[in-house]
Amino acid sequence: MPKQPRPEALERLCKALSRLPGVGRVTSERLAYHLVQVPEAEALDLAEAIRTARREVRVCSQCFNLDQEDPCKICQDPHRDRKLLLVVEGPREVAAFEQSGYAGLYHVLQGRVSPLEGISEKDLSLQSLLRRVEEGEFKECCLAMNPDLEGEATADLCYSVLKKTGILVTRLARGIPAGASILQVQQPILSDALHGRRKY
Amino acid sequence: MPKQPRPEALERLCKALSRLPGVGRVTSERLAYHLVQVPEAEALDLAEAIRTARREVRVCSQCFNLDQEDPCKICQDPHRDRKLLLVVEGPREVAAFEQSGYAGLYHVLQGRVSPLEGISEKDLSLQSLLRRVEEGEFKECCLAMNPDLEGEATADLCYSVLKKTGILVTRLARGIPAGASILQVQQPILSDALHGRRKY
């Protein structure tokens, strides 16, 4: 058996760090040695930030967004457009749309169908979505999945659940991203842009 | 001012994570959302591993390695060869050489000279190295810096400090790395290998 090259507390820290997504053995070692060599307050601040986030952040029982209040601040806000519902895959997408200036409500699916990762429709908050649309005053439900295969499959699933309610179901526009060059975007993007062309 | 898209506790966690080396804004967000969505025990285990490592891991007052004891387990070990001293840049290099089967003692410089990063010889444990060589029973001191410009400059500096003691100063062999293909290694590696050729 090879001898343990590191003190036990450092080994434990490497193991805990290597469970993070995208952090392999080498990176976890680099981070662990960094954390024991920076000023102590900096390392302890990270530990405390993790503990605080776990204590304070919860899932909103209405829209499944993450917040420190339940219902979340967005669901509580009387100034938001309560007729428009944006369905997104996860809470990071909520943060992204918030920065874009969107002012309606959200429904967080808590994932996307992905046979490879073993995520099926039972793992998503689809029944809650249906209930909110049936019981709420929404006029439009916009499916804002990511523009890839799993996102498309997830949007199809949402549509099949929602169509019987008669609500207007929409999707995000697809086309040339603002700031891009026509010569440099890929062919499926140009196809989308042509297919979705609008009156000038 | 753009509105805050995330709850405060998540924002704080993103900030703390983005101080880690190689972790930018996007990665810190991914890690923060991961940490509030995994099972609570997994996140709290990371926080506790950081706190434990900071509490338990200290710098050895003899060789400047990191360990939970002072002097460190290596300095204390009566079975190690106390005539051979390997000078390395940092504690991660100690862990690497430990796995290679090295059985002498170490001296950790705690860095390398790097004008760009503002690290000069005053920041390294050079005077302690000199004192250990003068007062100890070492017969050989091997400079095991990384094979790059800053490593070479650091080794030169060590040599200039050590030569007046008359100890045998050596350096790591440079040549073709075990397992490599002669067709694929770079030209400076082949030059090193030719220049350092040995009797068959």
Which chain B residue has the Cα nearest residue A3?
B99
CB within 8 A of A111, min separation 6: which ones? A89, A90, A119, A123, A124
B26-43 pLDDT tens trace: 999 999 999 999 999 999
B137-187 pLDDT tens trace: 999 999 999 999 999 999 999 999 999 999 999 999 889 888 888 888 888
Percent of chain A exceeding pLDDT 70 equals 98
In a domain, B39, yes or no: no
Q: Does the distance separating the beta carbons of A48 and B10 come in below 8 Å?
A: no
In a domain, B87, yes or no: yes
CATH number at residue B70: 3.40.1360.10
Q: Does the distance separating the beta carbons of B91 and A66 come in below 8 Å?
A: no
In a domain, B81, yes or no: yes
- Report yes or no on whether pTM surpasses 0.95: no
In a domain, B73, yes or no: yes
> b/e for B17-56, b at 16 or more Cβ within 10 A?
bbebeebeeebbbbbbbbbbeeeeeebbbbbbbbbbbbeb
Does residue A196 surpass a pLDDT of 80? yes
Q: Please compute the mean of the pLDDT values over residues B50-61 and round it to a whole number.
A: 97
In a domain, B166, yes or no: yes
Q: Please compute the mean of the pLDDT values over residues A59-79 and round it to a whole number.
A: 96
Does residue A1 surpass a pLDDT of 60? no
A8-42 pLDDT tens trace: 999 999 999 999 999 999 999 999 999 999 999 99
Mean pLDDT of chain B: 93
- Which pLDDT belongs to residue A3? 62
The angle formed by the CA atoms of residues A183, A187 and A189, to the nearest 5 degrees, is 90
Task: Identify the domain containing residue B129 by its residue range.
Answer: 59-171
- Select from B33, B18, B36, B31 the least CA-distant residue to A57: B36
Does residue B2 surpass a pLDDT of 70? no
Mean pLDDT of chain A: 93
Which residue intervals of A19-148 are DSSP H helices?
A: 25-37, 40-56, 73-76, 91-100, 126-135
Q: How many domains does chain A have?
A: 1
In a domain, A135, yes or no: yes
Which residues of chain A lie closer than 8 angstroms to B55, CB-CB?
9
In a domain, A75, yes or no: yes
Q: Does the distance separating the beta carbons of B46 and A19 come in below 8 Å?
A: yes
User: Burial of A33 by CB count in 10 Å (0-12 exposed, 13-18 middle, 19+ buried)?
Assistant: buried
Q: Please compute the mean of the pLDDT values over residues A167-187 and round it to a whole number.
A: 89
